[in-house]
């Protein structure tokens, strides 16, 4: 049971909205049993809080959902989209930062032009930021009956899917959920980059060129991109060992769901190396974002919410 949730007390959502959300609960039957056990204590008040914010907004809000790999970002975003569609008939668009990765070929070129580690997807600099910014602007202004398509990415083939498999949205849009492991992250002073944080950085980035380039992306184009967020929700992972365990399970799930034509999935050793690309920013996010996010959900080793913290200022 969460220790610090006051969402029931602080929300002024109408009783009718609460009831409609409660009645829509069967739309979430796909959630894990552990999450469903926390419907009354976590997910109902969270969804009411966010619904209230959407109703108060004078534009289509963009809500970031941040969390380490395997934390449940995609699951939460899908759940909110399903719940709001059932309760209110809202058009909620979930944009995964993963779908905005550069193509495999484009990252190969980055690896040649800047640093070999940029071949690996994930870190800032491996996404099409301009497309992401324009996508948000387009979604916010999408008129009734207007249609937009945006990319879909296949992690097993490690490449963008053909346009026939892209996401399709018909306007208007009521809410945008932007989920990703580095959503909301920001750059640091260069002095903080001097010492490697793991074996990958020590052996494959001894001069710090890769991590400085990634940091500069956060200080530049990604800062502008993330400034478009109206709210930020953080799923706070317990530690890096949990990320390793959950990411390993994700890889197995990805293989089952792939639509790609190539298999570039990872074995256990490959996953351990892969996660080291993310470790520096994950640790920095765990240090800084809990005081910056509008809502923080502490995720325990059992993958359930152990505490909820909300910033009091709206």
Task: Say if CB 198 and CB 107 are below 8 A apart.
Answer: no
Q: Coil, strand or helix: which one is 194?
A: coil
Beta-bridge partner residues of 149:
168
Query: pTM for this one?
Result: 0.90
**Two structure tokens written together for 284:** 């920095």
- Please confirm whether the linkage preceding 172 is cis (ω < 30° from 0): yes
- pLDDT value, residue 2: 44
Distance CA 295, CA 308 (A): 7
- Residue 144 has a pLDDT of 97
Please state, in angstroms and rounded to a whole number, the distance separating the CA atoms of residues 274 and 256.
Answer: 20
By C-alpha distance, which of 233, 134, 131 is closest to 183?
Answer: 233
Burial of 33 (C-beta count, 10 Å sphere; 0-12/13-18/19+): exposed
User: pLDDT tens digits, the chain, 314 residues: what are they?
Assistant: 344 445 545 455 578 889 999 999 999 999 999 999 999 999 999 999 999 999 999 999 999 999 988 889 999 999 999 999 999 999 999 999 999 999 999 999 999 999 999 999 999 999 999 999 999 999 999 999 999 999 999 988 999 999 999 999 999 999 999 999 999 999 999 999 999 999 999 999 999 999 999 999 999 999 999 999 999 999 998 877 666 676 666 655 544 545 555 545 456 666 788 889 989 999 999 999 999 999 999 999 888 999 999 876 55
Within 8 A by CB and 6+ apart from 217, the residues are 123, 124, 125, 187
Exposed/middle/buried for 148, CB within 10 Å: 0-12, 13-18, 19+? middle
| Nearest of 62, 77, 288, 97 to residue 183 by alpha carbon | 97
CB-CB contact of 64 with 232 (8 Å): yes
pLDDT of residue 110: 97
């Amino acid at each position: 049971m969460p220790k610090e949730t006051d969402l029931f007390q602080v929300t002024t959502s109408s009783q009718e909205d609460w009831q409609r959300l409660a009645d829509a609960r069967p739309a979430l039957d796909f959630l894990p049993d552990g999450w469903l056990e926390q419907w009354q204590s976590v997910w109902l008040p969270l969804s009411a809080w966010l619904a209230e914010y959407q109703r108060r907004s004078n534009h289509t809000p963009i809500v970031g959902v941040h969390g380490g790999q395997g934390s449940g970002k995609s699951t939460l975003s899908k759940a909110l989209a399903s719940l709001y569609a059932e309760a209110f008939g809202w058009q909620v668009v979930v944009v995964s930062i993963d779908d905005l990765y550069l193509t495999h070929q484009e990252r190969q070129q980055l690896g040649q032009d800047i640093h070999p580690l940029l071949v690996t997807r994930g870190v800032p600099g491996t996404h099409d930021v301009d497309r992401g910014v324009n996508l948000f602007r387009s979604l916010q202004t999408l008129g009734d009956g207007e249609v937009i398509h945006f990319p879909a990415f296949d992690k097993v083939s490690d490449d963008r899917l053909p346009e026939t498999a892209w996401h399709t949205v018909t306007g208007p849009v009521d809410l945008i959920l932007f989920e990703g492991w580095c959503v909301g992250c920001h750059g640091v002073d260069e002095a903080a980059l001097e010492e490697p944080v793991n074996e990958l950085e020590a052996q494959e980035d001894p001069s710090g060129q890769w991590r400085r380039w990634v940091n500069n992306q956060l200080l530049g184009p990604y800062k502008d991109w993330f400034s478009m967020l109206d709210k930020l929700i953080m799923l706070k992972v317990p530690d890096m060992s949990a990320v390793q365990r959950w990411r390993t399970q994700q890889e197995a799930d990805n293989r089952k769901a792939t639509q790609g034509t190539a298999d570039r999935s990872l074995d256990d050793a490959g996953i351990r190396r892969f996660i080291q690309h993310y470790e520096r920013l994950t640790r920095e996010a765990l240090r800084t974002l809990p005081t910056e996010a509008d809502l923080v959900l502490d995720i325990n080793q059992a993958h359930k919410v152990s505490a909820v913290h909300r910033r009091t200022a709206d």
